[in-house]
Structure 1
Amino acid sequence: MSSGRIPEDIIEAVLKHHDIVDVIGKYVHLTKHGRNLKGLCPFHSEKSPSFNVNPEKQIFKCFGCGIGGHVIRFIQEIEGYTFGEAVRHLAEEANIDFGWEQQTPEQAERQQERDQIVKGHEFAAKLYHYILNNSAEGKAALDYLRSRGFTDSLIETFQIGYAPPRWDVLAQYLEQRQFSLPLMEKGALIAAKSSGGGYVDKFRNRVMFPIRDARGNVIAFAGRTMGNEQPKYLNSPETSLFRKSRVLYNFHAARAEIKRTSRIVLFEGYADVIKAWSAGVHNGVATMGTALTEDHALMMRRSAEQVVICYDGDEAGQAAAYKNLDILAKAGLDIKVALLPNRLDPDEYIESFGAEKFRRDIIEAAVPTDKFKLIHLRRNFNMQDNEAKLRYVRTAIREVIAHIESPTVREHHLKELANEFSSISSFETMKQETNEIREEQQKKRRSGDNNDFSWNTVMNDGTDSVPLPKLKPAYDKAERHLLYVMMHDRDVAAQVQERLGDAFNDEAHAAMAAYLYAYYAQGFEPDASRYLTALQDDKLERLASSILMTESDQGINEQVIEDYIREIRKHRQQQAIERMEQERVRVEKSGDVIGAARIAIEIIALKNQLKAM
């Protein structure tokens, strides 16, 4: 079995220490479903949960996209790690000594570089924070933050700092602490001078907000000016650590509250997140000064069922909220939109009306998407003009209400429109127009219009999404059942090895059996999760996790094992007979009658053996 140069005892210790439910539960909202736990898959968009976790076997399997395996495989996929990096990550969390030699020198160098860049960012965050709080240079920045309502407690909690106006403060300190400056340049903390010979800081004369990954490591910075300089916010450029499309500000700190409430509050900027935190909203996150992406949406869906968009109340903020509805809906999130009055932003509202009113009247009073769309659409029409009112009603029906699937919700919105605009149109007329538009939509769908939504919208029946024959061949079923029992019973595996060896008909099944023989030969006991780590092959792990999740040992006895082995051998014999029949026909066509007759006799002998099985 190969696990690179990672000692087997470390892999075993990592698996024993980390319960798969606890690890996956940090990323996926799981609910009890019989012997398993289920949730929405973090690796593809879906509306019906097809992601299963088995606590007893310590494995996971998604019957939507097919991915499956052990806890190390999950961390590999969710964090984009290699096997060694995933083991290291889990070992660090468990305080397990991970002083093994990496699989390759290249991987060792990459991990060492990553660790040093993270340490450089952590040092920079502490330095900027110290300068803000303990230097004459930082006093103006500290006064500025306090004037904006940032208390000392918030400054400490979010480790806000200050980068002084001098060119190379950070570069000098990094050099003194013996950090590799070329490596720190690679991590985007400093930049080489254009004239050559030395380095300068990336950030100068800015209030500094550390950006952390999901584990809480500082991986980048956002620097804000205190005046009118542009750009107002300057983010670190993308590096091997920092991908803007995959990072949400404050996600690491908000995770506990997100898990408790299954809700995320999405803000536009760092200041809004921090001020909302001071107001008791501890599940707030923000994008990194970039547009919301599908990766962001999936990241949120892994941890929550609902997202409340709380953007600025001005035109730009509301337009951005409207634009993001489809991305969030595609990820399967329940979406609500917080409405801030008088074009205020969250920071301003909290300052003006207080924390309790913000939580109650803004966050808790957030409206569903259909209601928000109608409110947003209304801004484009002059409600003092009867003709504009009519255009608004017809546009609202065509662009919003007619697309609502629920008849009850459709009627609710139509009645609200009819009550408000009774002088323009009646409820019956509005309903008729809605039905006509929906009929036209249905005709287009039947004509073969493409469906814009790619998520899974059906209940999953526990089978892989890859098309499979409805009725599997008897030998395939026998091999899967036999492998299931072998993974749970060393004695059965030894019996199959002696009588069948690697003579499975399916190549992947044969490979799984070979790994299983080697696994037991090393003295390991039956352990589904531990065996899966031995495979270290994505396709085999998917197959093995599928077998472990879907097969059963119910009714297994010596006779059933015998029947499985016989069925597997029978198919191999049938395949051999078919090949010999083809050979007989070829030889006969070539004119070799005697040779063909000799093959025919061999075929008869094989058929007799088949009957005797």
Structure 2
Amino acid sequence: MSNGRIPEEIIEAVLKHHDIVDVVGRYVHLSKQGHYMKGLCPFHSEKTPSFTVTPEKQIYHCFGCGAGGGAIQFIMAMEGYSFAEAISQMAQEANLDIGIDPAADGRSQQNPDKTKLLEAYELTGKLYQYILKNTEQGKQAMQYLRSRGLNDKLIETFGIGYAPAPWDTLSQLLERRQFPLPLMEKGGLLSVRQDGQGYFDKFRDRIIFPIHDWKGRLIAFGGRAMGDAQPKYLNSPESMLFHKSRSLYNIHLARPQIRKKQQIVLFEGYMDVIKAWDTGVINGVATMGTALTEEHAEVIRKQADQVIVAYDGDSAGQNAAYKSIPILEKAGCLVKIAVLPNSQDPDEYITTNGSERFVRDVIEAAVPSIKYKLIHFRKNFKLQEDGDKLRYIQQALKVIADIPSPVEREHYVRELSTEFRLTFEAALQDLNEIRLQSEKNNKFGDNKDKAWNNVMNDGRPRERAPSLLKAYHNAERQLLAIMMFDRDTTKYVERQLGDQFNVDAHAALAAYLYAYFAQGYEPNASSFIAMLQEKELEGLASSIAMMGNSHGVNGQVIDDYIREIKKYPQQQLIELKREEMLKAASLGDLTLAGQIGNEIMSLEKQLKSS
């Protein structure tokens, strides 16, 4: 088998040190379901999990988009690595010296511009931190941070720095270090002078908050003005590293606690995250002043089940929190909203009331999204007036009607009927009429643009339509599934069937299996898939491997599959002969038609006896 220039024993060693669940778990929130782990596929958008990891076989497969393979293929797909780069990275993580230069794999290399830009951001971050802590220029910025309640530990933890006022501090450093300045401008560190002659620093006289990706790589900056300069906050522009619509501030530091608690606290800005961290809320991230997007929500859902939205307490912040609910719930998140009094933001609340009250009275007291919706639009009605009161009750019932759980619906209907002295039965009747009308208006399905990933409106998953694979096609898949885990069966099939698989991809997999076992390897789906290095075959192999080999296999079953596979070419020949016979008869050549008819009878007799 060909695997580039990497020996199979190195692949085996790397896979031995990397459990598929741990590898995938860094990117995807997985939940145990029987012998499998399930989660939302990282390779396409979905609401209902169709991405499955099988620890026993060390493989993954998405039943939605067809992606599949082992740990190496997963890293390649997530990081854009070549095979050699993935092996090298995984070996490094496992402290294995495999003596391989990933650059030797000429098929794919990391973008050199991206690598250079990452180096530049790392250097720039260190420069700004040094200026803040060690220079006269940074003293005012340090005093400002102290006045905001940030101590040395927080400043160090979050890598906060200061960009000085001069126009060319950074540009001169980058030029001396021989970084290409046009690339630095493209990456958001520099700006072009108005006359087009030269460059100047993008950030000047601002507190600098480094922005990292989930792996901890510095990819952008947020700069806050200390005085009246506008804009108050300035983020790096979009670049090959930084995408505002899906980047979250502090995701790299928060991930361990997010995974532990299965909960994210979503803030609006840097200072809220940092001050909350000091209270012990270390699972906080921020959208950095940009509106929450569906891409943000997908990133969040892949990390945790529950989100607490802790936006500012003013009307703008609460409106943004309200708008975040459908976006997060569409992604499959369980949403709660933290309510801050007196229009305060989290930073102000912590400064005024202290850490303990913030955790107890804001974060832990966050209300479910339904309750928050009722609170939020309640202020639009004058409840002391009968007309507005009735309109509010009808609006509240419409919100409650959207709740999928009957128990939750009843809970909120009882609360509403008690508050406004309604009979529970009357309120429930109105609710049921609203739900009935809604069901008439709505089509079934929660993911209509992806029919394969739909869940009906009653919340119960429906079974997919049964497979319509032809008998020979199904027989080939079943046979390959057995072969993948049984050396003796593979050798037997090679003798009896060889390359006579009717589907080209199946024939290719069989040939790879013959070679794999001929080299003395033990049955191992993950190792076998790692040696394919063909994306289409990797997905097919993972799909077949998921079928397993525990379905009452014996010699008779194997022979039946082989017989079914061999029958298909004969069946095709018979069909072809029938067409020829009909054509001869339509042309009036009855003699030829009779001869072909005899051939068909002979072929059918052979088919029955085979």
The Cα shift of 1:251 comes to 0.8
| 430-439 or 92-101: bigger deviation | 92-101
The structure, 1 or 2, with the larger RCO (C-alpha pairs under 8 Å, 6+ apart) is: 1
Structure 2 counterpart of 1:99, which letter? D
**Does the CA-based 8 Å contact 1:5-1:100 persist in structure 2?**
no
The 1-side partners of 2:82 and 2:285 are apart by 28
Q: 2:473 aligns with which of 476, 487, 490?
A: 476
Partner of 1:411: 410
1:245–1:92: structure 2 CA closer, same or farther, 3 Å change rule?
Answer: farther
Structure 2 counterpart of 1:415, which letter? R
The 2-side partners of 1:199 and 1:89 are apart by 36
Partner of 1:604: 601
The Cα shift of 1:503 comes to 1.7
**Does the CA-based 8 Å contact 1:480-1:551 persist in structure 2?**
no
| 284-293 or 353-362: bigger deviation | 284-293
1:302–1:279: structure 2 CA closer, same or farther, 3 Å change rule?
Answer: same
The 1-side partners of 2:518 and 2:264 are apart by 49
Secondary structure of the structure 2 residue equivalent to 1:569 = helix
Structure 1 unmatched runs, 5+? none
- Partner deviation per Cα, 1:174-226 (whole Å, 9 max, x = no partner): 22223333333332222343434432222111111111111101011111111
Matches within 5 A, 1:509-548: 509-520=506-517, 524-548=521-545
The 2-side partners of 1:58 and 1:567 are apart by 31
Secondary structure of the structure 1 residue equivalent to 2:266 = strand
The Cα shift of 1:488 comes to 1.9
The Cα shift of 1:359 comes to 0.9
Structure 2 counterpart of 1:286, which letter? A
**Does the CA-based 8 Å contact 1:92-1:98 persist in structure 2?**
no
1:372–1:76: structure 2 CA closer, same or farther, 3 Å change rule?
Answer: farther
The Cα shift of 1:81 comes to 5.2
Alignment length, in residue pairs?
602
Secondary structure of the structure 2 residue equivalent to 1:291 = coil
The Cα shift of 1:253 comes to 0.8
**Does the CA-based 8 Å contact 1:10-1:98 persist in structure 2?**
no
**Does the CA-based 8 Å contact 1:30-1:39 persist in structure 2?**
yes
- Partner deviation per Cα, 1:588-610 (whole Å, 9 max, x = no partner): 43455554444444333322321
**Does the CA-based 8 Å contact 1:249-1:288 persist in structure 2?**
yes
- Partner deviation per Cα, 1:235-292 (whole Å, 9 max, x = no partner): 1111111112222111111111011111010111111111110110010011143221
**Does the CA-based 8 Å contact 1:487-1:527 persist in structure 2?**
yes
The Cα shift of 1:335 comes to 0.7
Secondary structure of the structure 2 residue equivalent to 1:60 = strand
| 230-239 or 153-162: bigger deviation | 230-239
Structure 2 counterpart of 1:156, which letter? E
The Cα shift of 1:65 comes to 4.4
Partner of 1:354: 354
Partner of 1:53: 53
Partner of 1:493: 490
| 253-262 or 187-196: bigger deviation | 187-196
Secondary structure of the structure 2 residue equivalent to 1:488 = coil
Is 2:385 aligned against 1:388? no
Matches within 5 A, 1:51-200: 51-79=51-79, 86-87=86-87, 89-95=89-95, 98-101=100-103, 103-104=105-106, 107-108=108-109, 110-200=110-200
The 2-side partners of 1:145 and 1:225 are apart by 12
The Cα shift of 1:104 comes to 4.2
Partner of 2:553: 556
Partner of 1:376: 376
Matches within 5 A, 1:215-254: 215-254=215-254
Matches within 5 A, 1:305-320: 305-320=305-320
Is 2:201 aligned against 1:204? no
Structure 2 counterpart of 1:51, which letter? F
**Does the CA-based 8 Å contact 1:35-1:54 persist in structure 2?**
yes
Structure 1 counterpart of 2:68, which letter? G
1:243–1:560: structure 2 CA closer, same or farther, 3 Å change rule?
Answer: same
The 2-side partners of 1:365 and 1:562 are apart by 65
Partner of 1:504: 501
| 472-481 or 42-51: bigger deviation | 42-51
Secondary structure of the structure 1 residue equivalent to 2:102 = coil
Partner of 1:578: 575
Secondary structure of the structure 2 residue equivalent to 1:121 = helix
Secondary structure of the structure 1 residue equivalent to 2:159 = coil
The 2-side partners of 1:328 and 1:453 are apart by 18
**Does the CA-based 8 Å contact 1:313-1:340 persist in structure 2?**
yes
| 349-358 or 1-10: bigger deviation | 1-10
The Cα shift of 1:94 comes to 3.5
1:407–1:46: structure 2 CA closer, same or farther, 3 Å change rule?
Answer: same
Structure 1 counterpart of 2:542, which letter? S
Matches within 5 A, 1:6-21: 11-21=11-21
1:35–1:432: structure 2 CA closer, same or farther, 3 Å change rule?
Answer: closer
The 1-side partners of 2:274 and 2:55 are apart by 37
**Does the CA-based 8 Å contact 2:88-2:102 persist in structure 1?**
no
The 2-side partners of 1:349 and 1:609 are apart by 86
The 1-side partners of 2:558 and 2:79 are apart by 41
Partner of 1:436: 433
The 1-side partners of 2:364 and 2:535 are apart by 43
The 1-side partners of 2:311 and 2:536 are apart by 43
RMSD, matched Cα: 2.8
Structure 2 counterpart of 1:226, which letter? M
The Cα shift of 1:427 comes to 4.4
Secondary structure of the structure 1 residue equivalent to 2:239 = coil
| 376-385 or 226-235: bigger deviation | 376-385
1:295–1:47: structure 2 CA closer, same or farther, 3 Å change rule?
Answer: closer
The Cα shift of 1:298 comes to 1.6
1:264–1:591: structure 2 CA closer, same or farther, 3 Å change rule?
Answer: same
**Does the CA-based 8 Å contact 2:445-2:454 persist in structure 1?**
no
- Partner deviation per Cα, 1:395-451 (whole Å, 9 max, x = no partner): 2223x12323333323332332333333xx554543333233223223324xx5886
**Does the CA-based 8 Å contact 1:484-1:553 persist in structure 2?**
no
1:414–1:31: structure 2 CA closer, same or farther, 3 Å change rule?
Answer: closer
**Does the CA-based 8 Å contact 1:29-1:304 persist in structure 2?**
yes
- Partner deviation per Cα, 1:321-353 (whole Å, 9 max, x = no partner): 111111111111111111111111000111111
Structure 1 counterpart of 2:345, which letter? D
**Does the CA-based 8 Å contact 1:57-1:528 persist in structure 2?**
yes
**Does the CA-based 8 Å contact 2:82-2:105 persist in structure 1?**
no
**TM-score normalised by structure 1 residue count:** 0.90
Secondary structure of the structure 2 residue equivalent to 1:303 = coil
**Does the CA-based 8 Å contact 2:85-2:103 persist in structure 1?**
no
Structure 1 counterpart of 2:416, which letter? L
Structure 1 counterpart of 2:190, which letter? I
| 151-160 or 476-485: bigger deviation | 476-485
**Does the CA-based 8 Å contact 1:6-1:101 persist in structure 2?**
no
1:11–1:111: structure 2 CA closer, same or farther, 3 Å change rule?
Answer: farther
1:384–1:87: structure 2 CA closer, same or farther, 3 Å change rule?
Answer: farther
The Cα shift of 1:149 comes to 1.1
Secondary structure of the structure 2 residue equivalent to 1:101 = helix
- Partner deviation per Cα, 1:444-469 (whole Å, 9 max, x = no partner): 24xx58868776436668x8x6x553
1:609–1:189: structure 2 CA closer, same or farther, 3 Å change rule?
Answer: same
The 2-side partners of 1:269 and 1:434 are apart by 39
Structure 2 unmatched runs, 5+? none
| 560-569 or 158-167: bigger deviation | 560-569
- Partner deviation per Cα, 1:55-79 (whole Å, 9 max, x = no partner): 2211012334443221233234444
The 1-side partners of 2:570 and 2:548 are apart by 26
